[in-house]
Chains A and B, each alone.
Chain A
């Protein structure tokens, strides 16, 4: 089970949060067209390694968090607010 350090509430169990998907995707502009929205909704990179993710703290402050998680080791390297723009670590996970 993940333990996520919410910037507002402190370290909490994963069960308090709802996963909201890949945070490296951003919604295309209104006129970007069908292909761009199709890619946004359906295409996922599913990396083996570091991943930028949305997590909504539904069982706590209800803030939307961004976090950097390793998809193999589950290490969470960074947690921030929705507007932060972290860069993904270059090295492999622990």
Chain B
């Protein structure tokens, strides 16, 4: 008998519940509790995929999320998802998976030619080869590389991903990461002491190393039972902590597999954002590989993974295993397989005379001391190994059907490193451990370099004790008094990173990086470990090089002639595991991506047939028609020019400013003077940023001596409020002023057009609206259709116009009253498009012109600036450059041929120098009264060019339209209408 097979009862598998699945089209059977990897091994399957660069055959290397090779495409009803790890993917009935990166088939792969031409594909190959010409990148190199490389193919499995993920916010005293012996002990002691604890474990079951040692089975069961009886402890299996973000904030992904997902309405993932006062990283240690020729063949596996497959799933990864190892801990797999009835075992131990080797020999197992594996015999699987003494002598070959390797153990330090913990080299274990700041928490167990389960239990308790004390629990609750199997005495590791022999010795199986690639990077000047990583891609991609990262660093250290402790490891960053973007988005997708703000009259607008547009978070009526085109827009705008229209202006920012120093404060905030404004009057104002550029514009009304109402543009409402609050608190603390955001409290409507006075008069009883009593820019409290509100005589359209403001809850009744009063005049509601048409031909600016690059003079506001008194932006608005004659300034543009249209963004160019942009069209519209189109533009030199002809060029439309430069005030430049 050869190869992998299920030989025993597994801790997690249920022999009574077989599950059918398909891999590469072939039907197979596994058991409930299997992962895809354990089920494939149980079916004797070792070859799982092809490698990224050389397309070499690859198999299963690990039994967990650190897996570099066993990546598969998962096929579902709606599509396929790539890069699922066979080692963590729980098997379910009907699962369909395919191997990746092979064409046309896994057994015969055309691109495996890359393996034969490997010396032409060295590290940095792309950088060196695909250089010039520049155009070839887009058209030739990149498509070629993309076809040749890549892992798997994305074709969304959950197309509509609607309820597939959610986000949960958690708070806890202590977050314990990892539920091995150290983590379980710490969580229990802290919870029993009265602290709230979250215990996150990436595995589907709690226990870690205790799952792999039969002597710890009772301890594990009793501790887990005690934990689940503690209400203040939350155990989270299948939860991977992805990132440590400082200040006690952690991101964790909870995978809701199988039955769980069904009970959560199909929810696949839950992103947990955890805030903890302290953390215990009991994340264990990861076994690492040894670089030697052929260490990537299917059948070469980490020794600890083989132990996991045996204990957890009852699967022996081979019937004739060879071992290549350098620690006593790795012998656990030897003893376990021997104990399970595997007879033909051979051990190659780097060391001489280790305690574990003695124990193995006592069991009749063949051990080759002081030896290394120089080569693996076989092409697509392990057939045997060639062994030599460490000095290169005494070569001999052995048959084997798998090779189980172990180069030692690296404490899992990624999360601590994310928090800035420095790494310290530990000779005793030949690995780095992190110096975690005690204010953050503690490392415990193997993550701290403490190996052995009994030692981990003691260490977990010690960590719990100091953290409980720091959090005010001086006495730690007693333990459960469980019997603990003592750790056997062990001979220390003898670090071995690489066996130098003929053939490719991989340090990174996922990216096909060899030890020779690392040396090449060093020779070519990429000496720093971070540079080496980027040049070779060692340690990148889904596995982040977790089983070979330190080996690559060691090869680099040797090449540089430095100790490994000085070379270090690349800095890890979140996420520690690949995360589906859908899990990060959670429920914030499609219509839930952003909150929506609806107008008080949203339902009326909708019923009236409005098309809506999103501006900021607001949904605003664009035009009261479902048709595209200008016809409906012009009908609405012409109603305003000829008779009367009504528009919902409630989205404008409204800031209530009150207090004895309100006028003084507004003089500081605004570029123009507001303190001279009389009660009952409004004034147009602009505010600048401190750098002299225009921030926003709007009208401010003085409602009482110490009471102002500031309006802002819709887009800048939040920015302006913040701007005012910041400057009030930071620079004017002596001012007695209160700012309140009242935008949502008021519904506000513009009633505009030559007949607007008659319409407003019909709904406002207690106000004389004649121009003598209530002139342009007047403001007053008034009763509007029976509701206490405010009337402002302000105009954005350039027509005689009023704005009515009433408390938002009365918006609809007042709106309807105005519509009824306007009916004899043919009143039309008008949307944002018509509003825009009206303001463009009037020459009023909005965000298109107040774009952060324009100063007051550019927009024709230079005379508004206060000369004597200080205000924000005053000094820098006087910079010489802002007065330069060639600055881009506001002008009007009209096509010479009235039949031609304008386009926003068109560049203004001289007919003789078409490649030099002089400016661009910011806003344009067909006019209500003038023939053809009108537009606003920012043009170098501005009004100096008045009367000239330029081309408005839009290359993407293949258009160049001759335009004349005119005043931006194209309708009623004398402002007669607004004062009517």
Binding site for B on A (CB under 8 A): 1-3, 13, 18, 20, 23, 27-28, 30, 32-34, 36-38, 40-42, 54, 56, 58, 62-64, 72-74, 76, 82-83, 94
Is A32 a contact partner of B875 (Cβ separation < 8 A)?
yes
The 3 closest A-B pairs by CB, nearest first: A30-B870, A64-B729, A3-B247
How many residue pairs, one in A and one in B, have C-beta atoms under 8 Å apart? Answer: 61
In the complex, which residues of chain B have a beta carbon less than 8 angstroms from the beta carbon of A37?
A: 690, 875-876
In the complex, which residues of chain B have a beta carbon less than 8 angstroms from the beta carbon of A74?
A: 246-247
**Within the complex, what minimum Cβ distance (angstroms) separates A58 from chain B?**
6
Is B876 a contact partner of A38 (Cβ separation < 8 A)?
yes
- Cα–Cα distance between A82 and B732 once the two chains are bound (Å): 11
- Cα–Cα distance between A34 and B437 once the two chains are bound (Å): 46
In the complex, which residues of chain B have a beta carbon less than 8 angstroms from the beta carbon of A34?
A: 875-876, 878-879
Q: Which of B247, B731, B879 contacts A2 (CB 8 A)?
A: B247
Q: Is B398 an interface residue (CB 8 A)?
A: no
Is B420 a contact partner of A73 (Cβ separation < 8 A)?
yes
**Within the complex, what minimum Cβ distance (angstroms) separates A8 from chain B?**
13
Q: Which of B275, B439, B731 contacts A27 (CB 8 A)?
A: B731
Is B730 a contact partner of A64 (Cβ separation < 8 A)?
yes
- Cα–Cα distance between A13 and B729 once the two chains are bound (Å): 22
Q: Is B397 an interface residue (CB 8 A)?
A: no
- Cα–Cα distance between A36 and B876 once the two chains are bound (Å): 10
Q: Is B691 an interface residue (CB 8 A)?
A: yes
Tell whether A82 pairs with B730 under 8 Å between CB atoms, given A38-B876, A58-B722: yes
**Within the complex, what minimum Cβ distance (angstroms) separates A18 from chain B?**
6
In the complex, which residues of chain B have a beta carbon less than 8 angstroms from the beta carbon of A72?
A: 420
- Chain A residue nearest to B718 (CB atoms) is A58
In the complex, which residues of chain B have a beta carbon less than 8 angstroms from the beta carbon of A40?
A: 690
Interface residues of B in 90-105 (CB under 8 A from A): none
- Cα–Cα distance between A38 and B877 once the two chains are bound (Å): 11
- Chain A residue nearest to B243 (CB atoms) is A1
- Chain A residue nearest to B420 (CB atoms) is A73
Q: Is B245 an interface residue (CB 8 A)?
A: yes
In the complex, which residues of chain A have a beta carbon less than 8 angstroms from the beta carbon of B726?
A: 20, 54, 56, 64
Interface residues of B in 705-752 (CB under 8 A from A): 718, 722, 725-726, 729-731, 733
Is B876 a contact partner of A41 (Cβ separation < 8 A)?
yes
- Cα–Cα distance between A7 and B369 once the two chains are bound (Å): 66
Is A63 a contact partner of B875 (Cβ separation < 8 A)?
no
- Cα–Cα distance between A53 and B420 once the two chains are bound (Å): 22
Interface residues of B in 792-819 (CB under 8 A from A): none
Q: Can you list 26 pairs linking A and B with CB atoms under 8 Å apart?
A: A1-B249, A2-B246, A2-B247, A3-B247, A13-B249, A20-B730, A27-B731, A34-B875, A34-B876, A34-B878, A34-B879, A37-B690, A37-B875, A41-B690, A54-B726, A54-B730, A58-B722, A62-B725, A63-B729, A64-B726, A64-B730, A82-B729, A82-B730, A83-B733, A94-B437, A94-B439
**Within the complex, what minimum Cβ distance (angstroms) separates B731 from chain A?**
5
Given A1-B247, A34-B879, A64-B730, output 17 extra A-B contacts at Cβ < 8 Å. A1-B245, A1-B246, A3-B247, A27-B690, A27-B731, A30-B870, A41-B690, A56-B722, A56-B725, A58-B718, A62-B725, A63-B729, A64-B726, A74-B246, A76-B247, A82-B733, A83-B733
- Cα–Cα distance between A94 and B874 once the two chains are bound (Å): 42
Tell whether A64 pairs with B725 under 8 Å between CB atoms, given A34-B878, A37-B690, A54-B730: yes
- Cα–Cα distance between A31 and B245 once the two chains are bound (Å): 45
- Cα–Cα distance between A36 and B690 once the two chains are bound (Å): 12
Q: Which of A3, A32, A38 contacts B248 (CB 8 A)?
A: A3
Q: Which of A3, A54, A58 contacts B275 (CB 8 A)?
A: A3
- Chain B residue nearest to A25 (CB atoms) is B730
- Cα–Cα distance between A94 and B731 once the two chains are bound (Å): 32
> Which of A28, A37, A74, A83 has the largest number of chain B CB atoms within 10 A?
A37
In the complex, which residues of chain B have a beta carbon less than 8 angstroms from the beta carbon of A32?
A: 875
User: How many residues in B have their beta carbons less than 8 Å from beta carbons of A?
Assistant: 25
- Cα–Cα distance between A27 and B875 once the two chains are bound (Å): 11
In the complex, which residues of chain A have a beta carbon less than 8 angstroms from the beta carbon of B718?
A: 58
In the complex, which residues of chain A have a beta carbon less than 8 angstroms from the beta carbon of B249?
A: 1, 3, 13
In the complex, which residues of chain A have a beta carbon less than 8 angstroms from the beta carbon of B722?
A: 18, 56, 58
**Within the complex, what minimum Cβ distance (angstroms) separates B883 from chain A?**
13
- Cα–Cα distance between A18 and B726 once the two chains are bound (Å): 10
Fill in one digit per residue for B242-264: 1 if any A CB lies within 8 Å of its CB, else 0.
Answer: 00011111000000000000000
In the complex, which residues of chain B have a beta carbon less than 8 angstroms from the beta carbon of A2?
A: 246-247
- Cα–Cα distance between A71 and B690 once the two chains are bound (Å): 25
- Chain B residue nearest to A62 (CB atoms) is B725
> Which of B245, B246, B729, B876 has the largest number of chain A CB atoms within 10 A?
B729
Interface residues of B in 862-894 (CB under 8 A from A): 870, 874-876, 878-879
- Chain B residue nearest to A64 (CB atoms) is B729
- Cα–Cα distance between A40 and B692 once the two chains are bound (Å): 13
In the complex, which residues of chain B have a beta carbon less than 8 angstroms from the beta carbon of A94?
A: 437, 439
- Chain B residue nearest to A29 (CB atoms) is B870
- Chain B residue nearest to A4 (CB atoms) is B247
In the complex, which residues of chain B have a beta carbon less than 8 angstroms from the beta carbon of A54?
A: 726, 730
- Cα–Cα distance between A38 and B691 once the two chains are bound (Å): 8
**Within the complex, what minimum Cβ distance (angstroms) separates A93 from chain B?**
10
In the complex, which residues of chain B have a beta carbon less than 8 angstroms from the beta carbon of A73?
A: 420
Interface residues of B in 109-157 (CB under 8 A from A): none
Interface residues of B in 266-282 (CB under 8 A from A): 275
Is B247 a contact partner of A41 (Cβ separation < 8 A)?
no
In the complex, which residues of chain A have a beta carbon less than 8 angstroms from the beta carbon of B725?
A: 56, 62, 64
In the complex, which residues of chain B have a beta carbon less than 8 angstroms from the beta carbon of A27?
A: 690, 731
- Chain B residue nearest to A32 (CB atoms) is B875
In the complex, which residues of chain A have a beta carbon less than 8 angstroms from the beta carbon of B248?
A: 3
Is B874 a contact partner of A41 (Cβ separation < 8 A)?
no
Is A30 a contact partner of B729 (Cβ separation < 8 A)?
no
**Within the complex, what minimum Cβ distance (angstroms) separates A85 from chain B?**
12
- Cα–Cα distance between A54 and B878 once the two chains are bound (Å): 27
Q: Which of B245, B420, B874 contacts A30 (CB 8 A)?
A: B874
In the complex, which residues of chain B have a beta carbon less than 8 angstroms from the beta carbon of A64?
A: 725-726, 729-730
**Within the complex, what minimum Cβ distance (angstroms) separates A20 from chain B?**
5
> Which of A1, A2, A82 has the largest number of chain B CB atoms within 10 A?
A1
- Cα–Cα distance between A36 and B875 once the two chains are bound (Å): 9
**Within the complex, what minimum Cβ distance (angstroms) separates A94 from chain B?**
6
In the complex, which residues of chain B have a beta carbon less than 8 angstroms from the beta carbon of A1?
A: 245-247, 249
- Cα–Cα distance between A22 and B245 once the two chains are bound (Å): 23
Fill in one digit per residue for B403-439: 1 if any A CB lies within 8 Å of its CB, else 0.
Answer: 0000000000000000010000000000000000101
Fill in one digit per residue for B226-253: 1 if any A CB lies within 8 Å of its CB, else 0.
Answer: 0000000000000000000111110000
In the complex, which residues of chain B have a beta carbon less than 8 angstroms from the beta carbon of A62?
A: 725
- Cα–Cα distance between A83 and B420 once the two chains are bound (Å): 33
**Within the complex, what minimum Cβ distance (angstroms) separates B718 from chain A?**
8
- Cα–Cα distance between A30 and B870 once the two chains are bound (Å): 6
In the complex, which residues of chain B have a beta carbon less than 8 angstroms from the beta carbon of A58?
A: 718, 722
In the complex, which residues of chain A have a beta carbon less than 8 angstroms from the beta carbon of B730?
A: 20, 23, 54, 64, 82
